[in-house]
Structures are given as C-alpha cells and as structure tokens.
C-alpha cells in the first residue's frame, strides 16, 4: 500500500483533527540507515553528506515519519576529550573517558559544535538533510542529555559510585555537560531549518538509577535544556531507555513534544499516566521482535501497540522501543510500516482487534 | 568485645549500608577474634548481599547502590578469603562469565557476577568484548559447569549463538549449562540459539543457575 500523504502533511492533518491516511510510524532505524544507503557506518564519522543521504534513502525506502541526525551517544563526550571506539562498520562506543579523577573535572571545557570531534559533521549533515527532505518529513537533531553525558566523561561505573561518594562532583560533571548540550542544540537550531530536537537520557532510566537520584542529579539539567530549546520555539522529544514509569510525570511536566518509551515500560500505563500531557511514542521491542522476530511477530506487536495507545489524548506515534539494531531485516521494518498502513486512520479498535486475531499466537 | 554474632551482623550491615571502607576493619576484627572466615563470608558478607538483593528487587536500591554494596562485599572478601580452608574454596561450581565480542557494556554482567559470587559460585570473569574462542578455551581449561554470556548490543547477539556452536563442535556443549542475558536478549532469543536459560536480571540469574546446576548434579 502506498502512503497518500507526506509525513509533514500527515502530522499537520492529525494535529488539526483532519483526515489522514494512517498513524505516524517511526521504526527508529538509527545506524541501520547505512545498510539501506550502502555505506559503512564509519563513513558517518567524517562525511556529512552521507549522514544525510542515508537518512533520505531510508525515508524513500520505508516512508518512515521522522528522520534524525544522530550517530551515537558519545559524540558530545568525545568532543570534550573522551575517546570513542569507532568500528569500521558498527556503532561507536566509549573507549576512554575524558578524565579519571574528580580533580580533573574543573579542567573540562564545553565543546564547540563547529570545531570539536565529530560535532561539525553532524551540524553540516543537518543542512544537507533539510535541503533534501526538510519540507516533506520531520527532521530532528539528536542530543544526549547532560546527566547521561556526564557518565561518558568520567566512566560509567565510576560515575555511578560518585553519586554516593561525591554528589557535588556529579553535579559539576552534569553542569559542564549541559553547556555542551546547549551549545550543540543552539548550533542546530540557529540553522533555522525547521529541525526538532530529540534528547536521549538513558542513564536517567529507573533501570539504572532511582527516581530520587534522577530528580536530584538529572532532572534539573534536563529541565534547563528543555527550557533552553523552548526558547527557540521548539519543544523537544525525550527518549529514556529501560523502565521509566516512576518518572513519567516528571518528564512530561517539562512540557515536551513527546515521550518515547522503551519496550520494558507499559505503553498502556504510559498513555494513561501522561497521555493527556504529551504525545506518546513506542514501543515495539527492537531486539526481541524487530531484530529477531519474524514478520508475523512484527505485525502482532505493532497491532498491540496501536491497540494500547491509538487513542492517547495528545497523540501517538508507532515506534520501536529504542534504536533498531543495525542489521534488523528490512522485511521486518517494512512489515511494521505496512501494518500501520493496513490499520489506516482514524484507527478503528474493531479493525485492530480483527487483524490481531489473524495473527494470534 | 563484640561477639561473633554482632560482628557477623556488622559485616552484613556494612554491605547493605555501602560501608565499603569500614567493612575491612570489621573483617579484620572478626579474624583477630579467631572466628572462621567461611562464616564471615556466608553469614556476614553474603547475608548482606542477599539483603541488598531484596532491596534491589523492591526498587529501594538501584544500580549505583548495588555497585557500592558489592564494592563493600569484595573489600570484605579480600580480607577474609585468604583465611579460608582449601577444601572450602574448591568445592564450588565454576561459572565462566563475559560480555561477548563486539560489546563493552559490562554493568549487567558485573551485577550478575556479583550476585553469583555472593551465592557461592566461583566466577571466572573474562571481562568485556571477549573473543569467542576465549569462552571455549576457558571451559576446557577450567572444567566450568556454567557459561554466562551477556550483551547490550543487538549487533553482538549472534556471537552468543556462535559460542554455543563452537562448544558443540568441541564436544563440550553437553558438559555446560549456558545462560544468556542483556538488553536486547529475550527468552525467545535464548531458546532460538539453544541456550539453557535466560534471566532478566542478576537476582534471577542466581535462581536460574541454582536450578540448572541442581539438575546437572
């Protein structure tokens, strides 16, 4: 089935309560776009045009609603002095944190997005992407939250310990991280090319730290970043991996464009809890279903998500619970999109149930 | 002077209350009083780790707390372990654990290691980004009964399958129980690649290994 509208037309129509062809759907293909485009993932480390063209190629292939300039969580820490491991054809990882002692924190400087590490590549890629697809599909700049970035400056385990051993040091790390986040987001929004912002804050997850720790060490910086972005007239989307149920209200109350949740969290409960405050996005299991499942699994899980969230008051976007594994079969991604197309819009619960019964276990 | 029971309680409390420095003093005091190291470990430190696990399950403790509690347990172990009898050391079941090649995330693996150690297993920790052949070589050398593999990266998931295939080729598959875990791993995936079990977190991993090794004995 062909889409009848572009993602921008669809988003606008749904927001205005008008007719649309289907729900928005963003499989969250991440660096798997290299597989679609036909380049190695390491190409994205230095070639801004490839970053953008790979996004566009993926959009042309699947018609996904939403493209994002984002390669990995480590680019901001790297731009502040951490070392990233950059595999030839896989997603980057943290190799060596920028510092190894609390005394060194004061030496850290906010990154310059036009100069440091791979940040200029990403900023440049945003310009290309806007030229190629800007009017047709919503594009965003991905950024890691300040708290998460702090872990990549000081090392994950060491920063976890620091939360109890030296709380003020964690604040210091988050503060300097926040300056980098702001500078990067400013560079993206100063381009004035209609980009949104997506903040990833995986370390804020209730799977990692307690809600109390989140509220003390992460939330204040997240709020400052969200407010800063709002100063440009843009509301960010926030994605937090793992369980997030106990902090949903904290995040939604920041006044954001959407909350994207992991598959370990309950989509139904999330819609019930904060669906009246913000758009909910999620949460087909990226590993267990999208990567290792068969098309029938994809259909069933996608339909279950639609059933649980289609009537969320502030809107719903079908999405994976996190970035897809780079080698997720194209067939599975296509099946997710096609399932959403089959359901159509407005969503009829009866039809969803009927389709579901066809794919019951 | 503190009684044995009081010192055991203090050792346990040091672990639960994240007293990773004080625990060493208590462990020394306990040894100096002439009490056996084995009780200090099982009824002191391990008891503390078990209480910590309950707090973690009840979501009062999270990863940072678990990490510091385990630091306390290890610091106490470093003092007590040299005073164990040889026999007490050698009758434990061995578990080879590691994050498979292609991934360097090891928080989850470390938590599983901590909980298995505190449950009395002997862990052979291969670390992270472990070359697949290393799992096979270590099973051969150590005669381990259990292999525990994890990954957070879905790109490394298939390396778990390869390890299982390699164990099969070497005729070692029937000699070990294989458990897998990590962010992208599901029970369905574990079954698909022919692992013996999957656990969603470190606490469940202990139950799973208990169950699997009881069956083998």
Q: Which of B150, B155, B180 to mutate to test the interface with A (most CBs of A within 10 A)?
A: B155
Chain A residues in contact with B153 (beta carbon < 8 A):
91, 325
pLDDT tens column, B170-200:
999 999 999 999 877 889 889 999 999 999 8
Chain A residues in contact with B155 (beta carbon < 8 A):
90-91, 325-327
B88, pLDDT greater than 80: no
| Minimal C-alpha gap between B65 and chain A (Å) | 8
pLDDT of residue A325: 87
CB contact under 8 A, B155 and A292: no
CB contact under 8 A, A157 and B67: yes
Among A161, A206, A286, select the one facing B154 at the smallest CB separation.
A286
Closest residue in chain B to residue A206, using alpha carbons only = B62
Does A96 touch chain B if contact means CB atoms closer than 8 Å? no
Let me know: does A179 contact A110? Beta carbons within 8 Å. yes
Q: pLDDT grade, residue B27 (50/70/90)? A: very high
Phi, psi torsion values for A204, nearest 5 degrees: -80, -10
Does B183 touch chain A if contact means CB atoms closer than 8 Å? yes
d(CA A218, CA A173): 11
State the burial class of residue A179 (Cβ atoms within 10 Å of its Cβ: 0-12, 13-18, 19+).
Answer: middle
Strand order in the sheet with A139-144: A25-26, A316-320, A279-284, A258-261, A237-240, A196-200, A139-144, A67-69
- The fold for domain B92-216 equals Rossmann fold (3.40.50)
- Joined tokens for residue B113: 């290691």
Among B107, B153, B188, select the one facing A157 at the smallest CB separation.
B107
CB contact under 8 A, A326 and B155: yes
pLDDT of residue B87: 61
- The fold for domain B4-88 equals 1.10.1240
Closest residue in chain B to residue A31, using alpha carbons only = B155
Domains of chain A with CATH codes: 33-279 (3.20.20.210)
pLDDT tens column, A123-140:
999 999 999 998 899 999
d(CA B177, CA B58): 29
Among B71, B104, B186, select the one facing A288 at the smallest CB separation.
B186
Closest residue in chain B to residue A94, using alpha carbons only = B104
Does A210 touch chain B if contact means CB atoms closer than 8 Å? yes
pLDDT tens column, A10-67:
999 999 999 999 999 999 999 999 999 999 999 999 999 999 999 999 999 999 999 9
How much is the average pLDDT of B113-136?
Answer: 89
Asked whether this chain's domains B4-88 and B92-216 adopt the same fold, the reply is no
| Minimal C-alpha gap between A67 and chain B (Å) | 21
CB contact under 8 A, B63 and A286: no
pLDDT of residue A147: 98
B217, pLDDT greater than 60: no
A216, pLDDT greater than 80: yes
The DSSP-derived string for chain B is ---HHHHHHHHHHHHHTT-TTHHHHHHHHHHHTT--HHHIIIIIIHHHHHHHHHHHHTTSS-HHHHHHHHHHHHHHHHHHGGGS-HHHHHTSPEEEEEEBTT----HHHHHHHHHHHHTTPEEEE--SSB-HHHHHHHHHHH--SEEEEE-S-GGGHHHHHHHHHHHHHTT-GGG-EEEEESTT--HHHHHHTT-SEE-SSHHHHHHHHHHHHHHH-
B103, pLDDT greater than 80: no
| Minimal C-alpha gap between B125 and chain A (Å) | 17
Q: How far is the CA of A25 from the CAs of A3, A13, A16, A29, A268, in angstroms? A: 12, 15, 18, 11, 17
Does B64 touch chain A if contact means CB atoms closer than 8 Å? yes
Let me know: does A221 contact A180? Beta carbons within 8 Å. no
Chain A residues in contact with B59 (beta carbon < 8 A):
206, 210
Among A210, A286, A293, select the one facing B62 at the smallest CB separation.
A210
Closest residue in chain A to residue B63, using alpha carbons only = A208
pLDDT of residue B90: 56
> Which is it for strands A83-85 and A93-96: parallel, antiparallel or unpaired?
antiparallel
pLDDT of residue B216: 45
pLDDT of residue A134: 80
| Minimal C-alpha gap between B120 and chain A (Å) | 24
User: Which of A287-291, B91-95, B166-170 bottoms out in mean pLDDT, i.e. has the lowest?
Assistant: B91-95
pLDDT of residue B202: 80
CB contact under 8 A, A91 and B153: yes
CB contact under 8 A, B183 and A287: yes
CB contact under 8 A, A325 and B154: yes
Chain B residues in contact with A285 (beta carbon < 8 A):
186
| Domain extent listing, chain B | 4-88, 92-216
| Minimal C-alpha gap between B56 and chain A (Å) | 10
- Joined tokens for residue A18: 């008008």
CB contact under 8 A, A213 and B64: yes
Mean pLDDT of chain A: 96
């Amino acid at each position: 089935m062909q889409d009848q509208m572009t993602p921008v037309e669809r988003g606008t129509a749904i927001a205005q309560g008008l007719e649309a062809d289907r729900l928005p759907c963003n499989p969250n293909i991440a660096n798997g776009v290299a597989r679609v485009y036909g380049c190695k993932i390491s190409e994205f480390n230095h070639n801004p045009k490839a970053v953008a063209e790979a996004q566009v190629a993926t959009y042309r292939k699947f018609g996904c609603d939403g493209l994002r300039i984002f390669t990995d969580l480590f680019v901001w820490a790297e731009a502040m002095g951490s070392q990233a491991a950059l595999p030839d054809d896989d997603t980057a990882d943290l190799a060596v944190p920028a510092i190894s002692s609390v005394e060194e924190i004061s030496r850290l400087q906010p990154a310059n997005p036009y100069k440091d590490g791979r940040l200029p590549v990403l900023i440049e890629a945003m310009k290309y992407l806007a030229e190629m697809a800007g009017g047709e599909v919503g594009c965003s700049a991905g950024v890691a939250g300040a708290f998460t970035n702090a872990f990549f400056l000081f090392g994950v385990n060491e920063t976890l310990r620091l939360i109890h051993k030296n709380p003020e040091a964690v604040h210091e790390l988050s503060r300097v991280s926040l300056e980098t986040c702001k500078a990067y987001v400013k560079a993206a929004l100063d381009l004035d090319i209609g980009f949104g912002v997506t903040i990833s804050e995986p370390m804020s997850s209730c799977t990692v730290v307690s809600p109390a720790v989140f509220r003390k060490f992460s939330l204040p910086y997240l709020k400052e970043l969200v407010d800063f972005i709002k100063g440009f007239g843009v509301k960010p989307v926030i994605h937090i991996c793992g369980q997030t149920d106990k902090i949903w209200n904290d995040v939604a109350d920041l006044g954001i464009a959407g909350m994207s949740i992991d598959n370990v969290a309950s989509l139904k409960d999330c819609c019930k809890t904060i669906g009246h405050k913000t758009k909910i996005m999620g949460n087909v299991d990226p590993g267990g279903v999208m990567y290792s499942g068969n098309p029938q699994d994809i259909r069933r899980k996608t339909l279950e998500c639609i059933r649980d969230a289609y009537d969320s008051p502030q809107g719903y976007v079908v999405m994976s619970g996190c970035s897809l594994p780079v080698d997720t079969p194209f067939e599975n991604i296509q099946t997710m999109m096609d399932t959403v197309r089959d359901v159509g819009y407005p969503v009829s619960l009866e039809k969803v149930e009927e389709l579901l019964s066809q794919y019951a276990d | 002077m503190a009684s044995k029971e009081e010192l055991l309680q203090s050792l346990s409390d040091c672990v639960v209350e994240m007293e990773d420095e004080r625990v060493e003093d208590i462990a020394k005091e306990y040894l100096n009083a002439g009490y056996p190291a084995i009780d200090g470990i099982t009824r002191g430190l391990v008891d503390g780790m078990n209480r910590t696990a309950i707090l973690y399950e009840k979501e009062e403790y999270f990863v940072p707390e678990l990490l510091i509690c385990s630091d306390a347990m290890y610091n106490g172990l470093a003092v007590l372990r040299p005073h164990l009898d040889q026999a007490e050391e050698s009758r434990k079941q061995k578990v080879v654990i590691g994050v498979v090649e292609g991934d360097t995330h090891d928080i989850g693996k470390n938590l599983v290691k901590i909980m298995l150690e505190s449950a009395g297993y002997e862990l052979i920790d291969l670390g992270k980004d472990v070359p697949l052949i290393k799992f096979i070589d270590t099973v051969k050398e150590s005669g381990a009964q259990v292999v525990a593999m994890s990954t957070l990266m879905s790109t490394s998931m298939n390396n778990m399958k390869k390890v299982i295939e390699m164990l099969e080729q070497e005729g070692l598959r029937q000699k070990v129980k294989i458990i897998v875990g990590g962010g992208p791993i599901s029970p369905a995936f574990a079954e698909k690649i022919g692992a013996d079990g999957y656990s969603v977190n470190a606490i469940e991993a202990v139950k799973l290994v208990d169950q699997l090794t009881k069956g083998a004995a």
